[in-house]
Chains A and B, each alone.
Chain A
Amino acid sequence: MTAPAPVETLDLAARFPGWVTPDSRPGYSGWIVEKDKLLDFARALRDDLGYDYLSSVTGVDYLPEGKMEVVYHAYKTTGGPGVNFKVQVERRDPVEVPSLVSIYPGAEFQEREAWDLLGIKFTGHPDLRRILMWEDFAGHPLRKDWREAYFEEEFKPFKSRWPEGKFQMAEDKARLGDNLSFPAGFDPRKKTDFDPEKALYEALRQYQKTESGLETEHLLVNIGPHHPSTHGVFRVAVVLDGETIVNLKPVMGYLHRNHEKIGERNTFLMNMPYTDRLDYLTSMSNNFGYALAVEKLMGITPPERAEYIRVMMAELTRIANHVWAIGFLLNDLGAYFTPMLYAQEERELILDIFEAVSGSRMMCNYFRFGGVARDLPDGVLEKVRDLAFDRLPRKVDELENLLADNEIIRARGIGQGVLTAEDAIRYSTSGPLLRASGIPYDVRRAEPYSIYDRLEFDVACRPNGDIYDRMMIRFDEIRQSLRIIQQTVKQIPAGPIMAVKPAYQVRVPPGEAYGRVEGPKGELGFYIVSTGKSSPWRYHVRAPSFINLTAFGPMCVGQKIADLVAILGSIDIVLGECDR
Chain B
Amino acid sequence: MDTNELNVPGYEIPPEVQGQVAITTLDRIYNWGRRASVWPMMFGLACCAIEMICTAASRFDLARFGMEIMRPSPRQSDLMIVSGTVTKKMVPIIVRLYNQMPEPKYVLAMGACASGGGPFKEGYNVVSGIDKFIPVDVYVPGCPPTPQALLNGLMKIQEKITGEHWRNSRWYQKGRDLAEIPIPILGPDLIDPRKVEEYHRRLAESEA
Contact = CB atoms under 8 A, between A and B. Distances in A.
In the complex they form, whether A and B have CB atoms below 8 Å apart is answered with yes
Contacts of A180: 189-190, 199
A171 B128 contact: yes
Interface stretch (A6-14, A36-44, A338-346): A338-346
Nearest to B90: A254
Contacts of A151: 122
A137 B46 contact: no
A138 B124 CA distance: 11
A33 interface: no
A254 B89 contact: yes
Question: Quick one: which of B123, B143, B186, B202 has the most chain A CB within 10 A?
Answer: B123
B34 to A, nearest CB: 24
Contact of A148 (B42, B123, B146, B188): B123
Interface residues of B, number: 54
Contacts of A183: 188
Contact of B46 (A148, A255, A273, A344): A255
A194 interface: yes
Contact of A232 (B45, B59, B89): B45
Given A149-B124, A348-B59, A225 B119 contact: no
Given A148-B124, A344-B57, A348-B54, A186 B188 contact: yes
Contacts of A182: 188-189, 199, 203
Contacts of A192: 187
Interface stretch (A274-282, A311-319, A424-432, A554-562): A274-282
A363 B124 contact: no
Interface residues of A, dominant DSSP: loop
B136 interface: no
Nearest to B50: A280
A340 B57 CA distance: 8
Given A188-B199, A256-B87, A341-B57, A576 B47 contact: yes
A428 B64 CA distance: 45
A176 B132 CA distance: 14
A505 interface: no
B44 interface: yes
Report which residue of A175, A179, A340, A344 has the largest number of chain B beta carbons within 10 angstroms of its beta carbon. A179
Contacts of B128: 170-171, 178-179
A132 B90 CA distance: 11
B66 interface: no
A257 B199 contact: no
Contact of B122 (A136, A138, A150, A233): A150
B197 interface: yes
A256 B43 contact: no
A362 B53 CA distance: 13
B124 to A, nearest CB: 4
Contacts of A137: 186, 188-189
A258 B124 CA distance: 7
B203 to A, nearest CB: 7
Interface in B189-208: 189-192, 195-200, 202-203, 206
A300 B143 CA distance: 31
A194 B84 CA distance: 27
Interface in A265-285: 265, 273-274, 277, 280-281
A253 B132 CA distance: 21
A178 B132 contact: yes
B144 A189 contact: no
Given A181-B189, A228-B42, A575-B46, A258 B123 contact: yes
Interface in A499-515: none
A344 B186 contact: no
Contacts of B203: 175-176, 182, 188
Interface in B90-128: 90, 93, 97, 117, 119-128
A361 B57 contact: no
Contacts of A186: 187-188
B51 interface: yes
Contact of A138 (B43, B90, B144, B189): B189
A134 B47 contact: no
A253 B124 CA distance: 12
Given A233-B90, A257-B125, A194 B186 contact: yes
A180 B119 CA distance: 17
Nearest to B199: A188
Interface in A162-200: 170-171, 175-183, 186-189, 192, 194, 196
B20 interface: no
B46 A345 contact: no
Given A182-B203, A341-B58, A227 B72 contact: yes
The CB with the most chain B CB atoms within 10 A, among A186, A274, A281, is that of A186
A133 interface: yes
B171 to A, nearest CB: 23
A367 to B, nearest CB: 18
Interface in A181-228: 181-183, 186-189, 192, 194, 196, 225-228
Nearest to B125: A256
B92 to A, nearest CB: 9
Contacts of A177: 198, 202
A82 interface: no
Given A175-B202, A176-B202, A344-B54, A255 B85 contact: yes
Given A134-B186, A182-B199, A141 B124 contact: yes
B50 A150 contact: no
Nearest to A149: B124
Contact of B119 (A233, A274, A575): A274
Task: Indicate the member of B49, B121, B126, B189 with the most A CB atoms within 10 Å.
Answer: B189
Q: Which of A178, A183, A341 has its CB near the most chain B CB atoms (within 10 A)?
A: A178
Given A182-B188, A228-B42, A281-B50, A257 B58 contact: no
Contacts of B202: 175-177
Given A137-B189, A281-B50, A344 B58 contact: yes
B120 A262 contact: yes
B127 A179 contact: yes
A86 interface: no
Top-6 shortest CB links A-B: A258-B123, A280-B47, A138-B188, A148-B124, A257-B120, A344-B57
7 contacts: A133-B125, A186-B187, A196-B186, A226-B93, A255-B85, A273-B119, A363-B143
Given A179-B121, A576-B47, 19 more contacts: A132-B125, A134-B186, A148-B124, A151-B122, A178-B132, A179-B124, A188-B187, A188-B199, A194-B186, A232-B44, A255-B84, A257-B46, A257-B120, A277-B120, A281-B50, A344-B57, A348-B59, A362-B50, A362-B144
Interface of A: 132-134, 136-138, 141, 148-152, 170-171, 175-183, 186-189, 192, 194, 196, 225-228, 232-233, 253-259, 261-262, 265, 273-274, 277, 280-281, 340-341, 344-345, 348, 361-363, 575-576
